[in-house]
Copies of this chain bind each other. A is one copy, B any other.
Amino acid sequence: MSAPRVAAPERGLGLGPEPGSSTQTSHRLLAYSDALLSIIATVMILPVAHTKIHPDQKLGESVQQLLLAKIAVYLMTFLIVTVAWAAHVRLFQVIEHIDDVLALLNLACMMIITFLPYTFSLMASFPGVPFGIFLFSVCAVVIGLIQAVIVAYGFYHPHLLNQQIQESENQDFYKRHILKIILRGPVLCFLAAIFSFFFIPLSYVLLGLVIVFPHLTRLITWCKTKVLGQRSEEEEHHSMETFSFYLSEPLSKERVEAFSDGVYAIVATLLILDICEDNVPDPREVEEKFHSSLLEALSEYGPNYLAYFGSFVTIGLLWFVHHSLFLYVTKATRLMGLLNILSLAFIGGLPLAYQLTSEFAEKSHNEIEAIQVSCVITFFASIFQFAIWTTALLNEEETLHAFARYGGKEHAFMFAKLALYPCVSLGAFFLTCLLSEFSTAIFHLMQIVIPFAFLALRIFVRISLTAMK
**A72 in contact (CB, < 8 A):** no
Interface size class of A (residues with CB under 8 A): 35 or more
Instruction: From the candidates B28, B30, B277, name the one contacting A257 in the complex (CB within 8 A).
Output: B28
- Evaluate contact between A252 and B111: CB separation under 8 angstroms: no
User: Taking each of A277, A313, A317, which has the highest tally of chain B beta carbons within 10 Å of its own beta carbon?
Assistant: A277
**Contact present for B131 and A269 (CB under 8 Å):** no
Binary CB contact string for chain A from 308 to 344 against chain B (1 if under 8 A, 0 otherwise):
0100110011011001101100100000000000000
Q: In the complex, how many angstroms separate the beta carbon of A4 from the nearest chain B beta carbon?
A: 5
For A28, the chain B residues whose CB sits under 8 A away are 257, 261, 323, 326
Contacts of A22 in B (CB 8 A): 410
Q: Specify how many copies of this chain sit in the oligomer.
A: 2
Q: Contacts A39-B265, A273-B46, A294-B129 given: A330-B12 contact, CB under 8 Å?
A: yes
Q: Do A44 and B125 touch across chains, with their CB atoms under 8 A apart?
A: no
* A131: chain B residues within 8 A (beta carbon): 294-295, 298
- CB-CB < 8 A to A15: which residues of B? 327, 401, 403
Chain B residues, CB < 8 A from A309: 111
Given known contacts A15-B327, A316-B110, A454-B100, is B5 in contact with A46 (CB within 8 Å)? no
- Give the distance in Å from the alpha carbon of A257 to the alpha carbon of B5 in the complex: 13
Task: Assess the B107–A261 pair: CB atoms within 8 A.
Answer: no
Q: Quick check: is A219 within 8 A (CB to CB) of the other chain?
A: no
How near does chain B come to A64, taking the closest CB pair, in angstroms? 19
Output the nearest chain B residue to A268 by Cβ-Cβ distance.
Answer: B36
Q: A195 near B: Cβ within 8 Å?
A: no
Contact between chains at A118 and B43 (CB < 8 Å): no
Question: Could you say which of A280, A286, A317 has the most chain B C-beta atoms within 10 Å of its C-beta?
Answer: A280
Contact A162 B403 (CB under 8 A): no
Q: Which 10 pairs between the two chains have the least Cβ-Cβ distance?
A: A7-B7, A35-B265, A107-B316, A3-B252, A131-B294, A4-B96, A39-B269, A129-B294, A14-B327, A32-B261
28 inter-chain pairs at a CB distance below 8 angstroms, sorted by A residue, are A5-B7, A6-B7, A7-B11, A8-B252, A8-B253, A13-B330, A15-B327, A32-B323, A35-B265, A36-B265, A46-B276, A47-B276, A100-B324, A100-B458, A103-B320, A104-B455, A107-B317, A107-B319, A108-B451, A111-B316, A114-B268, A114-B272, A114-B312, A117-B276, A121-B276, A121-B280, A131-B295, A262-B265
Chain A residues with a Cβ under 8 A of chain B: 1, 3-8, 10-15, 22, 24-32, 35-36, 39-40, 43-44, 46-47, 50, 92-93, 95-96, 100-101, 103-104, 107-108, 110-111, 114-115, 117-118, 121-122, 125-126, 129, 131-132, 162, 164, 240-242, 250, 252-255, 257-258, 261-262, 264-266, 268-269, 272-273, 275-277, 279-281, 283, 286, 292, 294-295, 298, 309, 312-313, 316-317, 319-320, 323-324, 326-327, 330, 401, 403, 410, 451, 454-455, 458
Beyond known contacts A100-B454, A266-B266: 13 more, CB 8 A cutoff: A1-B93, A1-B241, A1-B250, A3-B250, A4-B92, A4-B96, A6-B27, A36-B269, A40-B269, A43-B272, A107-B319, A111-B313, A122-B294
